[in-house]
Amino acid sequence: MKTTPPDFYGSAKRLWETVGKANASDTAELQQRIGFYKRLLNIFQAGNYYYLLFNIYEGQIAYVSPEVEEVLGYRPDEVDIYSFMDRIHPDDKPYFLGFEAQAITFFKRLPVEKIKNYKAQYDLRLRNKSDGYNRILIQYVASNYDGENFYHSFHVHTDISHIKPEGIPCFSLIGLDGEPSFYNIQSPGLLLRSADPFTKREREVLKCIVEGNNTRQIAERLFISLHTVSTHRKNILAKAAAKTPVELVSKAINEGWI
């Protein structure tokens, strides 16, 4: 499904071309590495999700998984970059361009060995096939790159409408494997390292809570005692200044903690 690229798409394409370059990598080969990409993103299942591969230089979606139909109602063949951008809520389109510009600036400045340790994350409202809007959490990592150019990125789009029914989009850059994170970035071009409020184990427990696991399920998943899980839950609530698990999950999404 292709239409005439609007100025909105043209603005985004010019951003992507600053870091992208044509590459001969076979899409089928990239698809075979999806399991690896998903592990990189440490995907949590706070809602239904689908994933896609994005060709940065061409500014085109190279592949979208069948689950997109469960999330937004569209078949994979009804999703390309033009339709995706057209379906962004009008009020969220400036955020999209701003977030992409900040992510590109950040990744361009990273030493090549650090690129694999970061993911970009933000939320937008996307129009579904019923003409309503779903709030989608977009997470992505650079999946094919070298010391000079980026070729592809791997994206996971998760429906968080039930967690964040309203509010402005939030943008974060999440450090993996001990790298610093930058949460809820507000000012373009200004990155202030965020103090991570949680320990590594607390973050694992938080991820389980966001996924909807109860105390026993968390204990079994992380191989720790029920008492230890309960202690972590209390500490997480206190650090997040949240009174209930529902408030905690909402805050975790809004602040970009996961």
Q: List where CATH 1.10.10.10 sits in the chain.
A: 200-255
Q: Is 48 exposed, middle or buried (0-12, 13-18, 19+ CB in 10 A)?
A: middle
Select the more confidently predicted residue: 116 or 185.
116
Contacts of residue 246, defined as CB under 8 A and 6 or more positions apart, other chains included, come to: none
Q: Give the confidence band of 42 by pLDDT, cuts at 50, 70, 90.
A: low
Q: List where CATH 3.30.450.20 sits in the chain.
A: 7-175
pTM for this predicted structure: 0.79
Indicate the class that CATH gives domain 7-175: alpha beta
Give me the helices (H) in 110-225, please: 200-210, 215-222
- The pLDDT tens digits for 124-141 are 999 999 999 999 999 998
- CATH architecture, range 200-255: Orthogonal Bundle (1.10)
> Is there a contact between 107 and 147 (Cβ–Cβ < 8 Å)?
no
